[in-house]
């Protein structure tokens, strides 16, 4: 079986960074270079021209995701130096036909991106009949964050006698599976271009697709998957993934012996009444986070060392109190993260006011039972339970992007120059 082509997608917004990444990816065994949609939107056809000048003989793919003016867009990309132009498969046939006219006039090929196509087999056959040369079984980046898998599309297209590309969050392991399932072109973006060592990451994928293997898939529960993803990231990564939302404020008292990740068990109590907070410990399962609203009272504590010890016995991942905590000298000898807005020696009476597992307001955020929390030395971020998987996936992408930027800073760049900060100021 012939090895698939490895196409590396330059999904960055700065041309100078893209050029360096392309050079490193080719050194690691990439065959084709894709001018990714973010790059072409940020830099225009100049990105294609610059990469053509830099790599005169490399196959360049312009991922325009054309949805209209097929011929015109293909002409622009072809004249700038592209060999293959990507159009959206679910656009009207009029666009595809015009793109194909342009392609034949300027000697380039058309790759049709199957994102959002319902019946992929029927559409792929139609496109092939129209003359499209390459079908891309693609799951877009936002779709990946919701758990969609390009290998499912590939499986449906696998038997068709067409040139098939596959893309969408592939890494060495999944790229190898794609090769084993017959992909002709394996397209990889993030897991190569966000690596500190792009050459090594490209080489890993190259080796993986040169030796295709199905491997074994271990099925894990959704909660375990979310937890595994959040283990890889920081609280700042998560708030970035939430477009700078979700951070709790005022948690100036922090004991963080380890990162805190877990689902909320919420408690509303009043004026230091420690009855509901202590009862809530018994409602927790290992890995939960206790989130307590003391009605913003920092003059009286509903939580202390004995409660923390009890929570630790139950495997609670951490405690957050919008209010005061006491016994701090002892709490800091334990192993459970505790966040609070104040320290105060006096507790209230255990009268039983309040509620367990109601929606509460805590440190500027609404917290509902089952929402996810991540806490580290930077603070605590709340993740709405219905978006937990998606946000965790996005946070991992934020974290991966930082890996590469960190490496570029290590090589002597500055954050401002690398990201061309001034260019992004709102005009």
Ligand X SMILES: O=C(CO)[C@H](O)[C@H](O)COP(=O)(O)O
Question: Where on the chain is the footprint of ligand X (CB under 6 A)?
Answer: 9, 11, 36-37, 63, 138, 140-141, 167-170, 187-190
User: Which residues share a beta bridge with 292?
Assistant: 267, 321
State the greatest distance between any 2 C-alpha atoms of the chain, in Å, as a whole number: 84
| DSSP line for 360-405 | EEETTEEE-TT-EEEEETTEEEEE-GGGHHHHHHHHHHHHHHHHHH
Closer of 115 and 373 to ligand X (Cβ): 115
Three-class DSSP category at 267? strand
Q: Which residues of 248-276 are buried (b: 16+ CB within 10 A; e: fewer)?
A: bebbebbbbeebbbbbbbbbbbbbbbbbb
| Helix ranges, 107-234 (H) | 120-130, 141-144, 150-157, 172-180, 190-193, 198-210, 222-231
* Closer residue to ligand X, CB minimum distance, 11 or 288: 11
Closest residue to ligand X in the complex (CB): 189
Shortest CB 138 distance to ligand X, Å: 6
| Shortest separation between residue 36's beta carbon and ligand X, angstroms | 5
Least separation in angstroms between CB 397 and ligand X? 8
> What separation in angstroms does the CA of 360 have from each of 247, 264, 296, 341, 355?
15, 11, 12, 16, 10
Q: Which residues pair with 171 in a beta bridge?
A: none
Which of 36/384 has CB closer to ligand X? 36
Residue with structure tokens 């399962």? Answer: 285
Give just the sign of the alpha carbon dihedral 308, 310, 313, 314: negative
Q: How far is the CB of 341 from ligand X (least distance, A)?
A: 40
To the nearest whole angstrom, how small is the minimum distance from the Cβ of residue 75 to ligand X? 21
Q: Are 272 and 348 in contact (CB under 8 A)?
A: yes
Identity of the residue, 10 or 316, whose beta carbon is nearer to ligand X in the bound complex: 10
- Minimum CB separation from ligand X for residue 216, in Å? 22
Nearer to ligand X, 203 or 326 (CB): 203
Q: Which is nearer to ligand X, 11 or 75 (CB)?
A: 11
Contact 387, 296 (CB under 8 A): no
65/326 with CB nearer ligand X: 65
């Amino acid at each position: 079986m012939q090895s698939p082509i490895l196409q590396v997608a330059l999904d960055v917004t700065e041309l100078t960074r893209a050029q360096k990444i392309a050079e490193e990816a080719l050194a690691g065994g990439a065959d084709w270079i894709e001018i990714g949609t973010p790059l072409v939107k940020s830099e225009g056809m100049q990105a294609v021209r610059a990469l053509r000048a830099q790599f005169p003989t490399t196959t360049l793919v312009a991922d325009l995701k054309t949805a209209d003016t097929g011929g015109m867009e293909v002409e622009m990309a072809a004249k700038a130096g592209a060999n293959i132009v990507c159009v959206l498969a679910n656009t009207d046939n009029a666009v595809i036909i015009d793109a194909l006219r342009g392609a034949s006039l300027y000697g380039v090929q058309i790759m049709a991106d199957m994102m959002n196509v319902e019946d992929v087999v029927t559409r792929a056959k139609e496109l092939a009949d129209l003359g499209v040369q390459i079908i891309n079984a693609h799951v877009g980046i936002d779709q990946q964050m919701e758990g969609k898998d390009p290998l499912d599309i590939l499986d449906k297209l696998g038997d068709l006698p067409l040139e098939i590309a596959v893309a969408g969050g592939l890494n060495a392991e999944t790229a190898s599976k794609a090769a084993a399932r017959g992909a002709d072109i394996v397209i990889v973006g993030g897991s190569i271009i966000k690596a500190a060592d792009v050459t090594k990451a490209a080489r890993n994928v190259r080796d993986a697709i040169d030796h295709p293997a199905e491997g074994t898939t271990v099925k894990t529960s959704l909660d375990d998957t979310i937890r595994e993803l959040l283990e890889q990231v920081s609280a700042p990564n998560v708030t970035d993934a939430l477009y700078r939302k979700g951070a709790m404020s005022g948690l100036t008292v922090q004991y963080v012996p380890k990162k805190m990740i877990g689902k909320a068990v919420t408690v509303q109590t009043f004026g230091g009444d420690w009855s509901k907070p202590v009862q809530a410990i018994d409602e927790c399962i290992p890995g939960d986070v206790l989130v307590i609203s003391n009605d913003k009272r920092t003059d009286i504590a509903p939580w202390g060392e004995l409660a923390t010890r009890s929570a630790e016995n139950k495997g609670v991942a951490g405690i957050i109190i919008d209010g005061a905590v006491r016994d701090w000298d002892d709490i800091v000898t334990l192993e459970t993260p505790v966040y609070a807005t104040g320290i105060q020696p006096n507790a209230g009476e255990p009268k039983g006011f309040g509620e367990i597992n109601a929606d509460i307001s805590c440190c500027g955020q609404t917290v509902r039972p089952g929402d996810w929390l991540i806490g580290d030395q930077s603070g605590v971020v709340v993740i709405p339970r219905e978006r937990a998987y998606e946000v965790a996936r996005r946070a991992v992408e934020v974290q991966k992007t930082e890996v590469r930027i960190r490496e570029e800073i290590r090589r002597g760049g500055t954050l401002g120059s690398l990201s061309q900060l001034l260019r992004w100021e709102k005009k």
